[in-house]
Amino acid sequence: MVYLVGAGPGDIGLLTVKGLKCIQKAEAVIYDFHLNAQILNYISADAELIYAGKRGGHHTMTQDEINSAIVEKAGEGKIVCRLKGGDPFVFGRGGEEAQVLAKAGIPFEIVPGVSSSVAAPAYAGIPLTHRLYSSSFAVIPGYEDTTKDESAIDWARLATGVGTLVFLMAVKNIDLLTGKLIENGRSPDTPVAVVRWGTRPDQKTIVGTLKDIADIVKEKDIRPPAVMVVGEVVRLRDELKWYEEKPMFGHRILVTREHSGGFEELEDLGAEVIQFPTVEIVPPETWAELDRAIDKIEGYDWLIFTSANGVKYFFKRLFERGRDIRELGRIRVCAIGSKTEAEVNKFGIRVDLVPEEFRAEGLIKAFIKEAGKGATEADSLKGMKFLLPRAEVAREVFPDEVRRMGGEIDVPVAYRAVKPEVHGKRLRRFLKEGRVTVATFTSAATFHNFKEIMGEDADALLNDVAIAVIGPVTAKAIEKAGLRVAIMPETATVEAMVEEIKKWAMNK
């Protein structure tokens, strides 16, 4: 099966639900340049990715090569997704690709996408139709050579016969296009808008008239990709523009952890969240340490979780060993942070202790307080046994303090944070072009892996970016590299960091 999927114009929220489902089940994905790269994060890690290029006239693959690749992968028995920016059938080659599949007897489906022809004007506050201004619209390719003897466009009828005209890929030919419209009877004073990078944080909209828009485009250095809208509906922009009015419009937030949950509020405020995980959570190389702890689980007084990942991997292994939560009967549970507590609650277990401070030092204070006034600090945990399933690489502050205070503690590895096999070519370009405003790091590992992926000039790429961290340990790792941390919350949670990012952006 082949799915010809329209990925929409840029805002990842405009990807359709059906398009997302096709992407997720695809075993081979052939994709173009002009789509939001974040969509690729939804593709299965086992799927084959084939980059078809097509950027500014430079094609990585010819159309014939793309057609052959689609047929070849389908011939291998794979579910294939041909992923295209915008809509497959609106000035794309989707129709030709579907014809090739039909001739080859390969079953296919078309999944329409939101076209930039309607999305870019909408995000600029320009309705293509409005009962007081226009009752019709036409979408025209702006790249056709208007000087050729026989044009596919009936300029005489188009210029005055349609209320709103939308030209795609029009910037290079804008002088000729506007000239043709005026020459064929459209008023030189007709309002015109040009929208560059519509639906994206760097969307830019300029407004003029048919007689002067070409000069304004040159003056403002507007380059492709851009959509041109011609018609009286452009007058509504001042009243209806909404996207560019959002408080965080223009901001791109880089998220370097594996999942971006917690950052949705920034998207609601107009920012774009770029997911570029620099850590991948995987099981330990051996379960031996954790298995030994699980086999004597009844002997512990406290079970401590410092992350949601620790919770997930501990219980996963507990159940794989044929045990269940009833065997935790007398054990008290401590969780660092509300997210970790919520993860424990999913298993029907109530958390007995949540430290006020979300790091090792806060955990120590909490247990000293829990021990009561009857003992000195040196022996306040004497006789107590702790189990702390944790990451392979972790600070030893808490285990060392437990032992110093007379307690016993086992710290088996429950999971590892490893560097994923990714390349940062597109992110590097965004950073170099100043298109990322905030980079977030939720651990020292996310920062160190980012540096390794980006290469020797990683620090330079962050020079003009506001760095946000989740807490002082991460901040210390970044400052050690000679970079400045601009945003750090008092409480070490993603939610608190998001609040600080909002405050920073509002004051810019």
Q: Give the catalytic positions in this structure.
A: 32, 54, 169
With left for phi above 0 and alpha for psi between -120 and 50, is residue 449 left, alpha or beta? alpha
CA distance 417 to 396: 17
365 close to 355: Cβ distance less than 8 angstroms: yes
CA distance 457 to 48: 30
Pairing type for strands 226-230 and 191-196 reads antiparallel
414 close to 307: Cβ distance less than 8 angstroms: no
Any idea which residue has 């292994």 for tokens? 317
3-state secondary structure of 81: strand
124 close to 241: Cβ distance less than 8 angstroms: yes
CA distance 24 to 43: 5
| Sheet of 28-32, strands arranged across | 48-53, 28-32, 80-84, 2-6, 108-111
DSSP label at 16?
Answer: -
Residue of 168, 170, 182 lying closest to 91 (CA atoms): 168
CA distance 187 to 37: 41
Tokens of 214: 């070409």
Distance (Å) of CA 507 to CA 200, 229, 255, 368: 22, 34, 21, 41
Residue of 84, 162, 86 lying closest to 119 (CA atoms): 86
Beta bridge partners of 255: 275, 440
> Does an H or E element contain 140, and which?
strand 137-141
